[in-house]
Amino acid sequence: METENIAEEPIVPYTKPLDFEQVWKMFQETDRQLKETDRILTEKFQETDRILTEKFQETDKQFKETDRKIRELDRLFTTQWGKLVESLVEGDLINLLKEREIQVESILQRRRGNKEGHNYEFDLIAINGSEMVIVEVKTTLRPQDIDDFHEKLWKAKSFMPEYKNLIIYGAVAFITANGSSDRTAQNQGLFVIKATGNSSSIVNEPGFKPKAF
């Protein structure tokens, strides 16, 4: 007679239930481990932040130094070109103004001074007994240059009272003009002198009458 095979159930070892004290200790240990992990991560983050901050500061310092050198080179370049344009315009100025019926007796370069706490500088001044033409020289003429020069012209007699009885005209001389700066200068009543090659010329429209300051 065959006998049935009855599967025996596995014997599960007895485990004593955890009491409150054990659970509390486990909770405390887990909390301790979490705090330790948090401390380690915080230290790592702080160290990483310190390294990145130092790198950023060093890079920023290098950028600023490079920017300073570029600005210095640009200043030197602009200054040298300005002197070249100034010399070029000065050589032609007497004849250019003569064509506009202004007789020049003498030309002054780089008139600088301080009047009542205000510094001023005029690049070229062409003078006769009754008239004066003040020339502002720029390598590139910009709209702001015209506004600044126009304001200086109104103050010229205050800056140079020895010429208070003269009629003052203004002129801008340049190699290139930004946008329509040359047209703006003419609309402000200024002579417009463009330097090209080894000479310069007044390029105001026919019939132009300069403004007297």
Q: Which residues contact 14 (CB under 8 A, 6 or more apart)?
A: none
Average pLDDT over residues 117-125: 93
37 is a domain residue: no
Specify if 166 maps to a domain. yes
Q: Look up tokens 């040298």; give the residue.
A: 80
> In the predicted model, what is the mean pLDDT of residues 62-72?
64
Quickly state the pLDDT bin for 4 (edges 50, 70, 90): low
Residue among 146, 153, 154, 147 at smallest CA distance from 174: 146
Assessment of whether the complete model's pTM goes beyond 0.85: no
CATH number for the domain that contains residue 197: 3.40.1350.10
What's the half-sphere exposure (Cβ side, CA atoms, 13 Å) at 200? 28
- Is residue 122 in a domain? yes
Of 19-33, 36-50, 156-170, 196-210, the range with the highest mean pLDDT is 156-170
- Quick: pLDDT tens for 12-65: 665 656 566 776 777 777 878 888 888 888 888 888 888 888 777 777 776 676
| Residue range(s) defining the domain that contains residue 152 | 84-202
What dihedral angle (degrees, nearest 10) is formed by the CA atoms of 88, 89, 92, 94?
A: -140
The answer to whether residue 51 is domain-embedded is: no
